[in-house]
């Protein structure tokens, strides 16, 4: 069950990622990368030279109880085909995946 809670938000994020092709995307490099795994959760972050970024933190709530659940909080951003920055902030927990999207002007 816990694996499903983690996989569903990841699948949703993958499906909402921009699908356009851009030459500069092919040449993008990773400018920042962090990845930490702890006993009660994890966090990771990355940024690329073409404006894509993602940060995510997960914690296990109510450890050792019948109500144990993982809570994931994070965000990801990219530049859309019109040059606007799209940022999605989300929470995924026992209540499901709840995204909020903000589109910034150029």
Residue 35 is classified by DSSP as E
Q: Which phi and psi angles does 27 have, rounded to 5°?
A: -95, 5
- Name the H helices within the chain: 2-16, 23-26
Q: What pLDDT is recorded for position 56? A: 98
Q: What pLDDT is recorded for position 95? A: 93
How many structural domains is the chain composed of?
1
CA atoms within a 13 Å half-sphere pointing along the CA-CB vector of 87: 10
- 62 vs 20, higher pLDDT: 62
Q: Which helix (H) or strand (E) holds 74?
A: strand 69-79
Write out the two tokens for 59.
Answer: 């914690």
Mean per-residue pLDDT of the chain: 85
Q: What is the average pLDDT across 46-73? A: 95
Q: What pLDDT is recorded for position 5? A: 59
Q: State which residues form the domain around 57.
A: 2-103
């Amino acid at each position: 069950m816990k694996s499903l809670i983690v996989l569903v938000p990841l699948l949703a994020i993958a499906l909402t990622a921009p699908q356009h092709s851009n030459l500069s995307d092919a040449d993008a490099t990773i400018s920042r990368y962090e990845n930490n795994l702890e006993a009660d959760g994890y966090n990771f972050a990355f940024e690329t030279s073409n404006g894509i970024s993602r940060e995510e933190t997960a914690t296990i709530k109510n450890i050792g109880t019948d109500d144990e659940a993982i809570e994931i909080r994070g965000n990801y951003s990219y530049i859309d085909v019109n040059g606007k920055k799209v940022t999605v902030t989300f929470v995924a927990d026992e209540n499901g995946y709840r995204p909020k999207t903000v589109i910034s002007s150029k």
